[in-house]
């Protein structure tokens, strides 16, 4: 009987998965990766093997209307592909660990209840992350589950970096800056010694630019500060989230426009950012291809905020040795990288235009005082490593 382990990343309308097969005591390989998307509307399963060969690409029954049904559909497909497989464990991406959990944990029912308590801090992601864990508890109660937190990598910040300057008695309830995208940043930090050894132990700013976007300041591979704070609304402009706001704006929405709490939440999480500015799209690819001034303004603001926050984190680090781009926009948009690097040229970033479009790792010139890089992230592998570690197994390394 073959041994397998799964990595799950559950969202509101999708369930991303990665299947790892155990070849020997030391060796694992990716057997498949894919997703169930369109949950609740037009569900569809797609999957490929490690070589990119399509294993599945079919519509699912409309009854796949929530996370529990998606888990059932995935389990059924996995049984059909790997009959008799033994699942050693399942690792989950969980956005928020709250004040209790700074490191990955073996999930119990009690721990799951603790994690539900912090749903208000990440309402866009946390409920769906936890629903997947709940579904596995019901359907595969004997399979150990590991929760890996996007907040965990930032748990070593200094007190002053995580402070929220409100009354002390209020902050005791858990009001502090947490930071997110930690699994992505942890992976980047783990591969920099191989990809970019000259900056791996130095002062590095990593730009995780996707639908959700943030920056992280690293010193010797450890998180010093991040643009995301108490929730995933802070910092940079994102696809549908505004980034940093004057708190008075939120007061104005309540007091002068008389919006309800639910209306404000929906606006901040789903209607703002690139979508709000442009009125066209939350997708950077769409906006870069449009000629409307509103689309151009959204792109301009995205770059402006990123360059501004790079300057702020450079001050926190006391200087910068390297700038790393990752995630969907960071890895795939030479135009956004070019504009951010040019806006950061005062720091000593000298972009190599040809390298920027050629798919190489280093995109700055040899003479650049601050080197710039593109490093693909791999949150699934980071989750797998943590899962293997807590289960006492040999860890996959690539």
Q: Read off the pLDDT of residues 178-231 as tens digits, 9 standing for 90 and up.
A: 999 999 999 999 999 999 999 999 999 999 999 999 999 999 999 999 999 999
Confidence label for 395 from pLDDT (cuts 50, 70 and 90) = low
Identify whether residues 106 and 231 lie together within a single domain. Answer: no
315 located within any domain: yes
Q: Please say if the pLDDT value at position 38 is more than 90.
A: no
For 120, the domain range is 3-149
The proportion of the chain whose per-residue pLDDT surpasses 70, expressed as a percent, equals 97
Provide the CATH number for the domain around residue 35: 3.30.420.40
Identify whether residues 332 and 271 lie together within a single domain. Answer: yes
CA dihedral of residues 163, 169, 174, 179 (deg, nearest 10): -10
Confidence label for 295 from pLDDT (cuts 50, 70 and 90) = very high
> What's residue 25's pLDDT?
61
Identify whether residues 18 and 80 lie together within a single domain. Answer: yes
Contact predicate 207/235, CB 8 Å: no
Identify whether residues 327 and 235 lie together within a single domain. Answer: yes
Q: Please say if the pLDDT value at position 260 is more than 80.
A: yes
Q: Please say if the pLDDT value at position 12 is more than 80.
A: no
170 CB neighbour count, 10 Å cutoff: 10
Q: Please say if the pLDDT value at position 397 is more than 60.
A: no
Backbone angles phi, psi at 262, to 5 degrees: -65, -40
Confidence label for 124 from pLDDT (cuts 50, 70 and 90) = confident
Identify whether residues 232 and 312 lie together within a single domain. Answer: yes
Q: Please say if the pLDDT value at position 106 is more than 60.
A: yes
> What's residue 336's pLDDT?
98
pLDDT tens readout for residues 133-155: 999 998 888 999 999 999 999 99
Decide which of 87 and 296 is more confident.
296
Identify whether residues 341 and 225 lie together within a single domain. Answer: yes
Identify whether residues 93 and 236 lie together within a single domain. Answer: no
Q: Is 150 a catalytic residue?
A: yes
131 located within any domain: yes
Confidence label for 393 from pLDDT (cuts 50, 70 and 90) = low
Identify whether residues 13 and 100 lie together within a single domain. Answer: yes
Confidence label for 79 from pLDDT (cuts 50, 70 and 90) = confident
> What's residue 4's pLDDT?
82
Q: Give CA–CA dist 231/178, Å, rounded.
A: 7
Confidence label for 58 from pLDDT (cuts 50, 70 and 90) = confident
180 located within any domain: no
Confidence label for 50 from pLDDT (cuts 50, 70 and 90) = confident
Mean pLDDT, all residues of the chain: 92
Per-residue pLDDT, averaged over 65-92, amounts to 83
Q: Out of 49-58, 62-71, 379-388, give the one with best mean pLDDT.
A: 379-388
Q: Out of 85-89, 120-124, 294-298, 379-383, give the one with best mean pLDDT.
A: 294-298
127 located within any domain: yes
> What's residue 125's pLDDT?
87
Q: Please say if the pLDDT value at position 274 is more than 50.
A: yes
Q: What is the DSSP string of 49-116?
A: -TT--EEEEEE--TT--SHHHHHHHHHHHHHHHSTT-EEEEEEEEES--TTT-SS-EE--HHHHHHHH
185 located within any domain: no
Confidence label for 87 from pLDDT (cuts 50, 70 and 90) = confident
Identify whether residues 17 and 137 lie together within a single domain. Answer: yes
Identify whether residues 58 and 123 lie together within a single domain. Answer: yes
16 located within any domain: yes
Kindly list the distances between the CA atom of residue 282 and the CA atoms of 41, 100, 233, 290, 364, in Å, as whole numbers in the listed order: 20, 34, 15, 12, 29
Q: What's the pTM value of the predicted model, to 2 decimals? A: 0.91
Backbone angles phi, psi at 321, to 5 degrees: -105, -30
Identify whether residues 202 and 329 lie together within a single domain. Answer: yes
Domains identified in the chain, total number = 2
Nearest CA among 309, 371, 376, 294 for reference residue 343? 309
Per-residue pLDDT, averaged over 154-176, amounts to 93
161 located within any domain: no
48 located within any domain: yes
Confidence label for 26 from pLDDT (cuts 50, 70 and 90) = low
Identify whether residues 7 and 111 lie together within a single domain. Answer: yes
Confidence label for 398 from pLDDT (cuts 50, 70 and 90) = very low
Residue 398: DSSP 8-state? -
Q: Which of 2, 61, 142, 150 is catalytic?
A: 150
């Amino acid at each position: 009987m073959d041994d397998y382990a799964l990595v799950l990343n559950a969202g509101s309308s999708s369930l991303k998965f990665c299947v790892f097969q155990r070849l020997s005591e030391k060796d694992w390989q990716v057997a498949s990766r894919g997703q169930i998307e369109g949950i609740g509307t037009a569900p569809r399963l797609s999957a490929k093997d490690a070589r990119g060969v399509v294993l599945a690409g079919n519509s699912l029954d409309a009854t796949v209307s929530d996370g529990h049904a998606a888990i059932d559909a995935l389990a059924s497909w996995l049984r059909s592909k790997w009959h008799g497989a033994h699942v050693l464990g399942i690792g989950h991406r969980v956005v928020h660990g709250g004040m209790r959990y700074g490191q990955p944990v073996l999930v119990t029912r009690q721990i799951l209840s603790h994690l539900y308590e912090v749903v208000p801090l990440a309402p866009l992601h946390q409920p769906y992350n936890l629903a997947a864990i709940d579904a596995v508890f019901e359907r595969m109660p004997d399979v150990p589950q590991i929760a890996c937190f996007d907040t965990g990598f930032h748990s070593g910040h200094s007190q002053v970096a995580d402070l929220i300057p409100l009354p002390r008695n209020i902050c005791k309830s858990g009001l502090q800056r947490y930071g997110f995208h930690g699994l992505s940043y942890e992976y980047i930090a783990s591969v920099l010694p191989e990809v970019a050894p000259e900056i791996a132990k130095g002062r590095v700013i990593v730009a995780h630019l996707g639908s959700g976007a943030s920056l992280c300041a690293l010193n010797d591979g450890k998180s010093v500060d991040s643009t995301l704070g108490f929730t995933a609304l802070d910092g940079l402009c994102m696809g549908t989230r505004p980034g940093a706001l004057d708190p008075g704006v939120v007061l104005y929405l309540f007091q002068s426009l008389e919006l309800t709490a639910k209306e404000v939440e929906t606006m901040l999480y789903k209607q703002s950012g690139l979508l709000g500015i442009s009125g066209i799209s939350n997708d950077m690819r769409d906006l870069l291809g449009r000629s409307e001034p509103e689309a151009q303004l959204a792109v301009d603001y995205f770059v402006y905020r990123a360059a501004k926050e790079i300057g702020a984190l450079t001050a926190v680090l006391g200087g910068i040795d390297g700038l790393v781009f990752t995630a969907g926009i960071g890895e795939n948009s030479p135009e956004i990288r070019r504009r951010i690097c040019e806006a950061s040229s005062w720091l000593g970033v000298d972009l190599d235009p040809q390298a920027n479009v050629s798919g190489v790792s280093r995109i700055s010139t040899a003479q650049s005082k601050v080197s710039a890089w593109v490093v693909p992230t791999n949150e699934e592998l980071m989750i797998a490593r943590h899962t293997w570690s807590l289960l006492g197994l040999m860890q996959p390394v690539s």
